[in-house]
Amino acid sequence: MFLVNTADYTSKGRSVFNYLYIFQFLNILNSFMKKVALHWKILIGMVLGIAFGFVMNSVAGGKGFVTDWIKPFGTIFINLLKLIAVPLILASLIKGISDLKDISKIKKMGFRTISIYVGTTLIAIIIGLLIVNTVKPGAGMSADTIEKIKAKYETDLGVTDKLVKASVQKDAGPLQALIDIFPSNIFQSFVDASMLQIIFFALFVGISLLLIPEKKAKPLVDFFDSLNEMVMKMVDLIMLFAPYAVFALLANVIIAFDDIEILLKLLVYASCVVGGLLLMIAFYLVLVKVYTKKSPLWFLKQISPAQLLAFSTSSSAATLPVTMERVEEHLGVDKEVSGFVLPVGATINMDGTSLYQAIAAVFIMQVIWPEGLTFSNQLVIVLTALLASIGSAAVPSAGMVMLVIVLESVGFPEELLPIGLALIFAVDRPLDMMRTTVNVTGDATVSMIVAKSLGKLKDKPVEKKWDDTYKTVK
Ligand code: ASP
């Protein structure tokens, strides 16, 4: 791998030493990295990626270099995670359900999961509303700043794109969300990665397998068991690449920031969102301690690689395979619970997103439509932010699209919508990274609580490494 130039070797003695030093340094670095825990490696990758992004931002041609030569490695990583998400959900849920041997447990699990999800989301929205109404981040914004932001972002492609997507969502009938759960062609659902349709199909298959004689069910159950094991191993292998991928992803995020002045003007608003998100994390840690009696620090340590990836990718859907791997193998949640709770959570449970939507909606109203800030409108926000977070796709900036629907539900003037979105657009990406981290942490927390309540939480999870059986294969 480390090619030594033979010409230099013979003609310039000094170069030989240089090469040897580099070689030695890389060797030491390599053996040091082998001992470092995964979450530290990812963190190092993130910090270096941020630093690299800043450096590239300040050199001529740096942005183009990152876009052409660095970003693709982040994209490849996300593609790989998406590649395995569908088989993973399918296999772990079908295998899990067929292991349950008890249909009443499935009902219990479904009911508990949905109720806790709705409960935590409502708490998130209320925390958001309390913060934004107390701090009032929009109250002191000068007309000058508003004009500046308006001029810069009102016609921005990102803003207009969100408005178009929101109008598509709005035109759907009241029961469209329900219809969308039932697929007519499962291969289409695989192609579209429609999480809820795939979950429905897996439940349908799992329950039907439970209802046929065991001997007949066995080949299929074994097949899905084997598929599940294999995909889990793929997660381990993909994660070997994670520290480099987050480097690429974060360098790319940094080169997109250009107007630091506007970012600073939105600092109070952004701090409200960040403060609320931190409170949600604290709330999850209390839940973990109280309901599962596990140490919150242990929980954070085990789940941190998934959190760091959620932060780097801004997508709970892309993070899902890693969340599943961490929750099953490191937190000790049984497959039948994680296979259901986590994919459902990635789709409908977005506490970070709902908190953000509540704060962003009120902030926008404080700045450009203060007359709309009535108590009854805030109650409407509670309800619509709940529905909007359920309806938000688990992809970057989906929360901002659904924010339009929250604003429309309180009668926000349509002509002000582009300005409203323009106001928060500059800080949306960093806030998206943080709310996605909270979304993923919330799913993991609920999966532990549901597992504990069903007696499906292992005391000592067995961690599997990518090379557990490598030696015997070699
Ligand atoms: N990016 C978020 C997620 O994937 C959704 C959002 O709030 O935009 O969880």
For residues 300-314, average pLDDT: 96
pTM here is 0.87
Confidence band for 11, pLDDT divided at 50, 70 and 90: very low
* pLDDT at res. 473: 65
**Could you tell me where the beta strands, DSSP code E, fall in 248-349?**
none
Q: In this predicted structure, what is the pLDDT of residue 471?
A: 66
Note the pLDDT of residue 459: 83
CA dihedral 199, 204, 205, 209 (to 10 degrees): 140
Nearest CA to ligand 1 atom 6: 399
299 assigned to some structural domain: yes
pLDDT of residue 202: 93
The average pLDDT across 294-316 equals 96
* Crossing angle between the packed helical segments 316-325 and 428-453, to the nearest 10 degrees: 40
Give the domain range for residue 289: 102-191+259-463
Looking at residue 285, what is its pLDDT?
98
Query: Does residue 211 form part of some domain?
Result: no
* CB contact at 8 A, 140 and 277: no
Taking the C-alpha atoms of residue 255 and residue 232, their distance in angstroms, rounded to an integer, is 34
What mean pLDDT comes out for the span 132-147? Answer: 86
pLDDT band at 36, cuts 50/70/90?
confident
Residues with CB under 6 A from ligand 1: 314-316, 350, 353, 392, 394-399, 432, 435-436, 439
What does the pLDDT read at residue 355? 97
pLDDT at 224 over 60: yes
pLDDT at position 5, please? 46
Return the closest-CA partner of residue 131 out of 361, 419, 346, 286: 361
Nearest alpha carbon, ligand 1 atom 1? 396
pLDDT value for 245: 95
* Helices 316-325 and 296-313, axial angle in degrees (round to 10): 150
Across residues 277-284, what is the average pLDDT? 98
Question: What is the Cα–Cα distance from 83 to 78, expressed in whole angstroms?
Answer: 8
Task: Tell me the CA–centroid distance for residue 471 and ligand 1, in Å.
Answer: 40
Task: Decide if 204 is inside a domain.
Answer: no
What pLDDT, in 10s, does the model give residues 348-406?
999 999 999 999 999 999 998 999 999 999 999 999 999 988 888 888 989 998 899 99
The backbone region for 48, taken as left when phi is positive above 0, alpha when psi lies in -120 to 50, beta otherwise, is: alpha
Contact 333, 315 (CB under 8 A): no
* Residue from 111, 138, 121, 114 nearest 384 by CA: 121
The C-alpha atoms of residue 227 and residue 233 are separated, in whole angstroms, by 10
* CATH at residue 349: 1.10.3860.10
Residue 15 pLDDT grade (very low, low, confident, very high; cuts 50, 70, 90): low
Q: In this structure, are residues 279 and 401 in contact, taking their beta carbons and an 8 Å threshold? A: no
Taking the CA of residue 314 as reference, the ligand 1 atom at the shortest distance is 1
Q: What is the pLDDT of residue 177?
A: 79
Mean pLDDT, all residues of the chain: 88
Lowest-confidence range among 133-142, 170-179, 193-202, 278-287? Answer: 170-179
- What's the gap in Å between 182 CA and the centre of ligand 1? 23
How far away, in angstroms, is 392 Cα from ligand 1 center?
Answer: 7
pLDDT band at 173 (very low <50, low <70, confident <90, very high): confident
Among the atoms of ligand 1, which is closest to the Cα of residue 350?
A: 9
- Give the model's pLDDT for residue 260: 72
Residue 227 lies in a domain: no
Rg of the chain's alpha carbons, rounded to an integer?
A: 24
Q: Is residue 127 part of a domain?
A: yes
Question: Which atom belonging to ligand 1 lies closest to the Cα atom of 440?
Answer: 9
Is residue 97 exposed (0-12), middle (13-18) or buried (19+ Cβ within 10 Å)?
buried
pLDDT at 31: 74
3-state secondary structure 144-160: HHHHHHHHHHCCCHHHH
Pocket test for ligand 1, best of 357, 397, 404, 433 (most atoms within 8 A of CB): 397
Residue 428's alpha-carbon distances to 155, 373, 396, 409, in angstroms, are 16, 23, 10, 21
CA of 351 to the centre of ligand 1 (A): 10
Tally of domains within the chain: 1
Q: Is the separation of the CB atoms in 42 and 246 below 8 Å?
A: yes
389 vs 44, 127, 374, 445, CA distance in Å? Answer: 32, 15, 22, 18
Tell me the backbone φ, ψ of residue 457, rounded to 5 degrees: -110, 115
Ligand 1 centroid, distance to 29 Cα (angstroms): 35
Question: Distance between CA atoms of 26 and 23, rounded to whole angstroms?
Answer: 5
Q: What is the pLDDT of residue 19?
A: 65
Lowest-confidence pick of 101-105, 186-190, 324-328, 434-438: 101-105
Cα-to-centroid distance, 353 and ligand 1 (Å):
6
Among the ranges 138-147, 249-258, 326-335, which has the highest mean pLDDT value?
A: 326-335
**Is residue 343 a part of any domain in this protein?**
yes
Single-letter amino acid code for the residue at 92: S
Q: Is residue 52 part of a domain?
A: no
- Ligand 1: centre distance to CA 243 (Å): 22
Flag whether 380 is in a domain.
yes
| Residue 29 vs residue 6, higher pLDDT | 29
User: CA 371, CA 47: separation in Å to the nearest integer?
Assistant: 43
Helices 428-453 and 351-368: angle between axes, nearest 10 degrees:
140
Q: Which residue has the higher pLDDT, 92 or 464?
A: 92
